[in-house]
Amino acid sequence: MAQAIAIAEGTPPTLAGVCCLGILSASLGRGLQIQSGADRVSRGNLFIVGSAESGSGKSETYRHAARPFNEYEHRLVDDWRQNVQHQIGSEVTMLGKELARLEKAAGGDNQSAIEREELRQRIEAKQARLAQASADNHAPCLQVEDTTTEKLAALLAANGEHLASLSSDAGTIVSNLLGRYNSTGRTDESIYLKAWSGDGFRVDRLGREPVSLTSPCLAALWLVQKDKVDSLLEVQSLSDGGLIPRLLVCHSKAEAQRIEGSRPGIPTETAAAWAELINTLLDTYHRASEPLTIQPADDALAALVGYHNAIVDRRKADLSDVGSFAARWAEQAWRIGVCLHAGRHGASAGERQLGVDTALAAIRLAEWFSEQQLAILGGVREAGKRAVRDEVLALLADTPTGIRAADVYRRRIVTTAAEAHSLLATMETEGTLAGTDSKPDGGGHVTRTFKLARN
């Protein structure tokens, strides 16, 4: 389907690919997960942010991928309006009248204590039924776009605690994250963090009933212009808070294209197969009362564990300055694996083991997204490296006799002693510092002291 969309619209396969992956993720809700550890499961909800120039075909590309998802939601709403809405409305009206009669009877002075207690219990029961009926009196919803934190929490609570945030032009969503609706001007990502991880969440606001969520699940597919991706990654509070490391970001490099001759449309059988798959996933998993859990095959588990361990090793070396980002890559591979597994096996995905071929495909995609992330972070990383080196030079200016790795670590210029040793060794290799070894007269460990290199 992604290939067919790319050919039909003349857009890069990456743009169509992220759209199809995002719709797969959105179609699962919280109904499918994988056993990713002895006491841990990973769901298939992804947060995908892809960029494309205005007028490059991103809306059309998105529309093709999302069509069966949107049509499914429209059918749900139509069915609710025709077969459910009037029933709930009638029940709300009847319960309101019954409650009014009970409250009127409770105002009498001739009841015994037993009669008053019975009335109280009946009133409470009616109030509870009326509150539940009123809460159910809403059309079903599978997706949101421009919404506040409070509204998103309420919509999650009203729709089984799982939704998708989908937009072919997500500039307003980015503005919301940056604090558009927050009176303090702070970034507003807390519910997105909870709904990615599945942690419980409670929203309390003055004058409104609190909203409590047990295990919210949100998938996201946001297409934006390139500058919006860059602006998100430049917000330190979003990185420190953990949202940015959870995003699968990419620049699709989609640009406006000339039309030379006629382009083939999407083959009917391809569109039909895609629609059937999305409908099947929505029926089987999004509407499931309890999630189904995939078990990984032994070789698939070994591949994903190996990927995790390789990242851990790199976080002590070339990824030391982006550890919070790299820490999510293995988890992203597990989540992508859930989506690919569902795409391959449809309704039977919950009954089949995750195969090694799917695990390796998920790892390749996770690696591709990580490369995209690092490329976008390139400028930020370089600025961060320069700032760290400036701190080392400032420390050296205060200590002309020389500095050691322990001094760098104690000043909290870096977070670990290993990073301190690596940083000083790198600056020596670059020719900024010169190191000399010394050993106590009585014996002991060799200590390397660094001073400014003489040019």
Q: What is the pLDDT of residues 78-131, one digit of tens each?
A: 998 888 777 777 777 877 887 788 777 777 777 777 877 888 888 888 777 777
- Calpha distance 287→281 (Å, rounded): 9
Q: Do 34 and 333 meet the contact criterion of CB atoms below 8 Å apart? A: no
Higher pLDDT pick, 72 / 441:
72
Structure tokens at 206: 């003055």
Backbone angles phi, psi at 256, to 5 degrees: -60, 135
- Calpha distance 382→374 (Å, rounded): 11
Structure confidence at residue 149 as a pLDDT band (50, 70, 90): confident
Give the model confidence (pLDDT) of 181-235 as tens digits: 565 556 668 889 999 999 998 877 645 677 889 999 999 999 998 888 777 777 7
Eight-state DSSP code of residue 112: -
Number of C-beta neighbours around residue 146 at 10 A: 15
- Calpha distance 173→177 (Å, rounded): 6
pLDDT of residue 116: 77
Write out the DSSP string of 311-349. HHHHHTTTTGGGHHHHTTHHHHHHHHHHHHHHHHHGGGG
- What is the mean pLDDT of the segment spanning 293-300? 98
Among 246-250, 252-256, 400-404, name the one with the lowest average pLDDT: 252-256
Structure confidence at residue 434 as a pLDDT band (50, 70, 90): very high
Structure confidence at residue 352 as a pLDDT band (50, 70, 90): very high
pLDDT of residue 217: 96
- Helical pair 58-83 and 268-281, crossing angle rounded to 10 deg: 50
CATH architecture type of domain 2-80+140-296:
3-Layer(aba) Sandwich (3.40)
Task: Spell out the domain ranges in the chain.
Answer: 2-80+140-296, 381-452
Q: Is pLDDT above 80 for 256?
A: no
CATH architecture type of domain 381-452:
Orthogonal Bundle (1.10)
Handedness of CA 356, 358, 359, 363 (dihedral sign): positive
Beta-ladder partners of 436: 449
